[in-house]
Amino acid sequence: ARTDPNAPKKQMGISVVLVDLDTPGITVRRIDLISGHSPFCETFFDNVRVPTANLVGTENEGWTIAKAILGHERSSIGRSIARQPGSAQREVVARARKHLAVPEGAIPDPLLRDEVASLGMLEEAFHLTLARIQQSAESGTPGPEGSITKIVGSELKQRRFELGMQVAGTQGLGWEGPGFDADDLQYTRDWLRSRASTIEGGSSEIQKNIVSKRVLGLPEGKK
Amino acid sequence: MTKDRAPFLLLNEEQKMLAKTAHEFIRERAPAARIRAFRDSRDEVGFSRELWSEMAELGWLGLQIPERYEGMGLGFFDLAVVLEQSGRELMPEPFVSTLLLGTQALLLGGSEEQKKALLPGVAAGETLITIGYEEAGSRGDASKPVTVAKDSSDGFELSGEKLQVLDGHLADRIIVSAATSDTGYALFLVDPTQSGVTVIRQSRMDGLNAAIVRLERVRVKSDAVVGGLDAGAALLGAVFDRASVGLAAQMLGASEQAFTDTVDYIKEREQFGVPIGSFQALQHRAVSVYTDIALTRSVVLAAARAIDESPDEVPRLASLSKAMGSETFMHAAKEAIQMHGGIGVTDAHDIGFYMKRAQSTYMTFGMPSQHRRRWAELHGY
């Protein structure tokens, strides 16, 4: 919350306070996402009274805490995307086998197989890059590559779900009820959820701005 | 990464020093502009034998060759460090022919006599060895050579024609693939000064040197076979895997240099009163190239490490690094030309040589779609 409306910079004059949701004046309204899930909500505060003791950290220095929270969000998104090496490829191949009725051997559609292989290669390269970043951090000379993991990881996640949906064809169009199996219904929800991965925790565009400026040293443009 | 633990992907202190020394030496002595000079003067060699000898003296040509053949006895990973740097300036010296084709064929399949006779010369920068595998109509598929090896009294008689044999115009030995039966083929060491061998120099757009090698009833003894009879396919396949990784290391260096030059250019070049590098339309595309290069570096290092330490992993990592290295280099070269603008399509600027090399390396040792098909097969789909 803003505690100093006259602060010289907009990042200053912000404080973090702990609020009991049972306090009078609070209204919570759920936000439904395209996937049908609702992990977010809008919270309205109308003259809610909070004791001074609930201040977290120092007054007017909340931005530091907010940045730490956002940083945590970003890194936990990165970790959640990483999953097991090879799992994205295995998942898409398994879905292709199920929906195309090819229990074993080559995926008959060469274009589809090429796309799955592209995904598998990107996945392997991503995991090797994560390993390389970790090794260089452990060696005491971290390189600048850490900046690309969110960009690549979120793209990998989206491509995985896009391909998984593509192989399902019309069986991937279900929302609920008869005629669709539970796995496919869940997969469709997860595909919809994956659209957020290039937005949450700093969008890909913001990440690219950061790499452009800090890693490549390109000049800032007019805003 | 099928194993639980990732391979070690960093350079040790010696390798870092090697990379730095090679980078400085090559930038100073072997700039990409030499390709224009060799082309315009119709140089008969097409590269610098002096430079090749100097690199031999520095130990770079024998890095991976065992000490008993007068090499340094290090690994392919060390060679890859130098190859990456050689790629930065698109060096036309015979890295691919001699170090990646000829030497790997001998290391993987050569007899003790063959290795003793030829590898010390390679390490010393005196002997050039190449492989002829491309034929009219083979289109990147070396598995069915039309060139034949007929049994003769004390050996074989080779007849056929190989195209675009890298450094074939100067090679001391040319290893050729030739059918030994309806289904199998073998590799044969041929001395091009033998009777029946005709070598015709070819001119390629990319600054690498090549030749047509015509064989008319060329007689070789049975000790000319590299590897076993009918075992040519397995051996050549293993050689191509290593060569793919080495070429990918060169492509990585070339991508890196083309990208660095481009970023430098868009910081300087002004339009509408500001550097064009301040435009977000270019910035995000530059980051995309940067990202591709970072990913490619990881896979090239992993593949080079696998050649030394985990041979079972080599086929899939070789295909991964060749496919990704090719796509990244092509991407970097296309964006380099576009971001350089009009000057980028003039012969006066060196950046065009990167585009030409990107195309030639893309097509060499299998293009990306072929490697993706193989990757799928190796993963059971």
Contact B287 A216 (CB under 8 A): yes
Question: What pLDDT sits at residue B4?
Answer: 58
Q: How crowded is residue B120: how many other Cβ atoms within 10 Å of its Cβ?
A: 17
ipTM of this predicted complex?
Answer: 0.96
Quickly tell me which residue has 């003296």 as its tokens. B57
DSSP string, A65-117: HHHHHHHHHHHHHHHHHH-STTHHHHHHHHHHHHHTT--SS--S-HHHHHHHH
Separation CA B164–CA B212 (nearest Å): 6
**In this structure, what token pair is assigned to residue A134?**
């970790």
**What are residue B350's phi and psi, to 5 degrees?**
-75, -20
Q: What's the DSSP call for residue B205? A: T
Question: What pLDDT sits at residue B1?
Answer: 58
Question: What pLDDT sits at residue A72?
Answer: 76
Q: Report helix, strand or coil for A198.
A: helix
Question: What pLDDT sits at residue B79?
Answer: 98
**In this structure, what token pair is assigned to residue A4?**
């100093």
Using an 8 Å CB-CB cutoff, list chain B residues near A156.
none
Q: What share of chain A is helix, strand, coil (3-state, %, to 5)?
A: 55, 10, 35
Confidence class for position A41, pLDDT limits 50, 70, 90: very high
Q: What's the DSSP call for residue B86? A: H
3-state secondary structure A199-222: CCCCCHHHHHHHHHHHHCCCCCCC
Using an 8 Å CB-CB cutoff, list chain B residues near A222.
274, 278
Contacts of B315 by beta carbon, 8 Å cutoff, 6+ apart = B241, B374, B378
Question: What pLDDT sits at residue B114?
Answer: 98
Contact A114 B266 (CB under 8 A): no
**Out of A42, A73, A104, A176, which one is annotated catalytic?**
A73
Select the residue of A122, A132, A211 nearest B287 (Cβ to Cβ). A211
Contact present, A136 and A102 (Cβ < 8 Å): no
Per-residue pLDDT, averaged over A160-176, amounts to: 97
Contact present, B27 and B88 (Cβ < 8 Å): yes
Separation CA B361–CA B325 (nearest Å): 9
How far is CA B378 from each of CA A117, A222, B246, B299, B307, rounded to the nearest angstrom? 10, 50, 21, 17, 17
Is A176 among the catalytic positions?
no
Using an 8 Å CB-CB cutoff, list chain A residues near B301.
128, 132
Contact A125 B373 (CB under 8 A): no
Question: What pLDDT sits at residue A223?
Answer: 57
In order along chain B (381 residues), what is the average pLDDT of each group of 10 residues? 76 97 98 98 97 98 98 98 98 98 98 98 98 92 94 94 98 97 94 97 97 98 94 96 98 98 98 96 98 98 98 98 98 98 97 98 97 98 97
Using an 8 Å CB-CB cutoff, list chain B residues near A109.
none
pLDDT in tens, A64-104: 998 888 777 776 776 667 788 999 999 999 999 999 999 99
Per-residue pLDDT, averaged over A46-53, amounts to: 94
Type of residue at B88? R
Select the residue of B6, B291, B372 nearest A131 (Cβ to Cβ). B6
User: Is 70 exceeded by the pLDDT of residue A157?
Assistant: yes
Contact A106 B302 (CB under 8 A): no
Contact present, B60 and B109 (Cβ < 8 Å): no
**Interface probe, candidates B5, B267, B295, B305, chain A, greatest A C-beta count within 10 A:** B295
How buried is residue A112: exposed, middle or buried, by Cβ count under 10 Å (0-12/13-18/19+)?
middle
Separation CA B234–CA B183 (nearest Å): 13
How buried is residue A217: exposed, middle or buried, by Cβ count under 10 Å (0-12/13-18/19+)?
exposed
Based on its alpha-carbon atoms, the radius of gyration of chain B, rounded to whole angstroms, reads 21
Using an 8 Å CB-CB cutoff, list chain B residues near A128.
1, 6-7, 9, 298-299, 301-302
Nearest CA in chain A to B381: A106
Contact B375 A129 (CB under 8 A): no
Separation CA B2–CA A86 (nearest Å): 7
User: What residues of B are in the A interface, CB distance below 8 Å?
Assistant: 1-2, 6-10, 263, 266-267, 274-275, 277-280, 282-284, 286-288, 290-291, 294-299, 301-302, 320, 323-324, 369, 372-373, 375-377, 379-381
Using an 8 Å CB-CB cutoff, list chain A residues near B318.
none
Select the residue of A122, A128, A139 nearest B1 (Cβ to Cβ). A128
Min Cα–Cα distance to chain A from B252, Å: 14
Separation CA B279–CA A17 (nearest Å): 40
Task: Choose among A122, A121, A111, A116: nearest CA to A91.
Answer: A116
Task: Choose among B254, B260, B253: nearest CA to B340.
Answer: B260
Question: What pLDDT sits at residue A11?
Answer: 86
Contact B291 A151 (CB under 8 A): yes
Question: What pLDDT sits at residue A192?
Answer: 97
Q: How crowded is residue B319: how many other Cβ atoms within 10 Å of its Cβ?
A: 28
Select the residue of B277, B295, B373 nearest A152 (Cβ to Cβ). B295
pLDDT in tens, A10-30: 889 999 999 999 999 999 999
Separation CA B37–CA B45 (nearest Å): 12
Whole-prediction pTM? 0.94
